[in-house]
Structure formats: C-alpha cells, structure tokens
Amino acid sequence: MAKTELSKLEWLAKAQAYCARAEHCAADVRRKFYEWGLQDAEIADSIEQNLYADNFLNDRRFCEAYVHDKVAYQSWGRLKIQAGLRALQLPESEIRSALENIDETAYFDNLRKLIRARKTDSEDKRLRFLLQRGFTYEEIKEIRD
C-alpha cells in the first residue's frame, strides 16, 4: 500500500508508535508527517489533536525532558535551551516552568566543568564559548569570582 493510501487510523497508529518510542513535540510530529508523505493538512491536524487528547503529546512533559537532557547531557545554558524550545513553537508558560525547575547544582557544576576544560583559552575566547553555550554573563561572572 502506498503511503498516500493510508487511512486516518493507520496514520494515527503510526504517529502513536512514533510518540511512544521517545518524547516528542508537535513540531517533531509535523516534521515526521512531511517525511512520511502525509500531505492532507486536515488529517494531520486531526491526528495531532488526537495525540494531545490521548497524552502521546504533552508540552509540559516535553519541555521538562528537553531541559533535563540539555543540562545533563550537553551542558547547555538557560538561554540556549530557551531558544531551542522557542524554535519548536512551544508555549512560553511551559518553557518558563521547565526552566524554573532546572537542577541548580547540576547546572552550575556543568558551568564549572566547562570553565575548567577551557582554562588554556584566553579569557575572551572562554567567555565567548560559554555565552554561545547559553550561559548568561552574570552566571559566568558568579562562578569565576
């Protein structure tokens, strides 16, 4: 059966399986629809609504997982995390809530590790690197002092 011949229920089942494997947001699902060849916007919108209704998609849960993973595995700062979530067009209230729940100990431990790892760089180069990672100047200054 060709991709364009799938019924709405088959598209829904495919999307549910995709969402069940890992935490995703609506933007990820829409991107997958495009990759899979789903071109009917009405069907895509309907499936997205079903995914939210059945809790396969949950903006709060996604934001919390995103923030946790970016802090724990990639040592990103708040600003870069916030920009990433905004790029996915998630609600600002959910973004703020997730950022407020950052584990401060792990967050600042990451910043300290990054500063130590770049100790041979010039002060300007290290500062640029940390700013690009999404840490604020105030956070960097607090740790350096």
Could you tell me the CA-to-CA distances from 7 to 64, 76, 107 in Å, in that order? 33, 41, 46
Work out the pLDDT band at 6, boundaries 50, 70, 90: confident
Quick one: pLDDT at residue 145? 54
Please say if the pLDDT value at position 60 is more than 80: yes
Quick one: pLDDT at residue 34? 94
Residue that wins the pLDDT comparison between 5 and 57: 57
Q: How much is the mean pLDDT over the chain?
A: 94
> Any idea what the Cα angle at residue 30 is, between residues 55 and 58, rounded to 5°?
20
pTM over cut 0.75: yes
Backbone angles phi, psi at 121, to 5 degrees: -75, 160
Work out the pLDDT band at 143, boundaries 50, 70, 90: confident
Residue 138 tokens read as 């105030």
User: What is the rounded distance in angstroms from the CA atom of residue 105 to the CA atom of residue 33?
Assistant: 39
Contact 25, 57 (CB under 8 A): yes
